[in-house]
Amino acid sequence: MIGLLEHWLPEQRWFAGRGRERGPIRVVSRTPVAKVRGDAEVELVLLEIDISVGGTPTVQRYQLWLGWHPWLPQILDHARIGSAGNWTAYDALHDSEVSALLLQHLAAGAVVGDLRFEPEPGTVIDTTAPGLPIGAEQSNTSIVYGQSSILKMFRRLEPGPNPDAEVHRALHAIGGKHVATPLGTLTGIVDGVDTTLGVLMTFFAGSAEGWAMATTSVRDLMAEGDLRADEVGGDFAAESLRLGKAVAEVHADLATAFGTAELTDAERAHLAAGMAESAKATALLVPEVEAALEPVLETFARFAADPTPLTVQRIHGDLHLGQTLRVLVGGWAILDFEGEPAKPLAYRRALYSPLKDIAGMLRSFDYAAHHSLVGRAPDGQHQYRATEWARRNRAAFCEGYASVAGSDPRDHPAVLAAFELDKAVYEVAYEYGHRPAWVPIPLQAINRLITSNGGRS
């Protein structure tokens, strides 16, 4: 089995060790789950791999639902891992019989070895809906069951409760209206700790993704010859305003559910120092960041010295337009509260300023506006239109947020600029290693932020 996984695992989109030095795959446990399709055997396999990150070895843990079939049906050929003897291994989360079994176990509260399928109290799970995996995800695998529910399986694991399940349960308990309703969780033992393997939630049928709506609006603007962003039929600003209100309400719910604290001077200095270290590391790779390093560090220093008290709380942690849905009832829904999957669990469950989430969303508006210009010859007219669209929708989002929160995020320019600049520096490093043609998008943001000194632009 190890030989098969050595070739297959690095090719998966959810594998976080691509392009890095790694050790051998270790099988930590194998839990037989069921037989499906007559003779196919399905097991849950937990894996560990040593990955070198910045020269420091770290352990990455993964769950793999592995199916073994004596003759793999053509419908599952896309999930093929490889053959060993008379058996063919495949990724069983793509098997409709396995997805149906998982839903049935959740509805019944089944226990299989160390695995616990736990429905939420009082919920009714429709086990008749067929399951269909979503193909576009990066770090997880989700299965949609008809129009009723969605099961997210966390491929990469950190021992302990996953924030996505934890937050959804807490927000539902206080009546949060911009999140899905949790229906059940699947837990197991990882490194001796009860760990969330998957979470079942209501599915927002008929919804539209925020990123798709925003980029369609940009496309409509670019197609017009002489109209401004507020004159185009696909103007997105009204939705940006509503989205800002929704995010503010979710932040208020998170504060109610988990409490708040005040950031101490030492904690603020530590946070600013981490931003500075990230910028220095990126400057070693990207000449444009090295050239701008002095004003970048000055921005982080202004944040460290800012006397404004800073409230911290649980936040989304990885907020962008792709984590939002325009739903049929309630306006906007916010998804995926697990934070940045590559970060340690303690980091993802820590308290941060809500301005960190807001900065992430502002960066997302910037990406939506400028992504269509990637790879095109310089065009002043289209660049102007992209900048105008981003400015208009960023402002609308902040205005919507302020109407609910009672204060405008832009009233804290040194803090907001630091968070947005930190995010832009991270984006440069990511794009440099994955999509070099996209590097100009965050570089433009860095230039804007260091020249505006954290202004309201």
Q: Are residues 88 and 225 in the same domain?
A: no
Residue 81 φ then ψ, to 5°: -100, -45
Tell me the mean pLDDT in the region 195-212: 95
Which CATH number belongs to the domain containing residue 169 in this structure? 3.30.200
Q: Are residues 83 and 140 in the same domain?
A: no
Structure tokens at 282: 């990126």
Domain presence at residue 457: no
Q: Is the pLDDT of residue 348 over 50?
A: yes
Structure tokens at 171: 């927000």
| CA proximity to 380, closest of 437, 436, 388, 231 | 388
pLDDT in tens, 159-181: 999 999 999 999 999 999 999 99
Q: Are residues 115 and 227 in the same domain?
A: no
Last residue of a domain, one of 58, 93, 128: 93
Percent share of the chain, pLDDT over 90: 77
Q: Is the pLDDT of residue 210 over 50?
A: yes
Q: Are residues 260 and 350 in the same domain?
A: yes
Q: Are residues 328 and 350 in the same domain?
A: yes
Q: Residue type for 349, please?
A: R
Q: Are residues 70 and 214 in the same domain?
A: no
Last residue of a domain, one of 44, 69, 93: 93
Q: Are residues 338 and 223 in the same domain?
A: yes
Q: Are residues 395 and 343 in the same domain?
A: yes
| CA proximity to 194, closest of 118, 115, 258, 121 | 115
Q: Over the chain, what is the mean pLDDT? A: 92
Judge whether 296 and 260 are in contact, CB under 8 Å: no
Find the distance separating the first CA and the last CA of the chain, reported in whole Å.
Answer: 55
Domain presence at residue 424: yes
Which CATH number belongs to the domain containing residue 277 in this structure? 3.90.1200.10
> For the chain, what is the domain count?
3
User: Which residues lie closer than 8 Å to 19 by C-beta, 6 or more apart?
Assistant: 433
Last residue of a domain, one of 147, 180, 202: 202
3-state secondary structure 253-273: HHHHHHCEEECCHHHHHHHHH
Domain presence at residue 386: yes
pLDDT in tens, 240-279: 999 999 999 999 999 999 999 999 999 999 999 999 999 9
Q: Are residues 242 and 101 in the same domain?
A: no
Position 187 scores a pLDDT of 97
Confidence (pTM): 0.91
Q: Are residues 333 and 428 in the same domain?
A: yes
* Domain carrying residue 215: 208-452
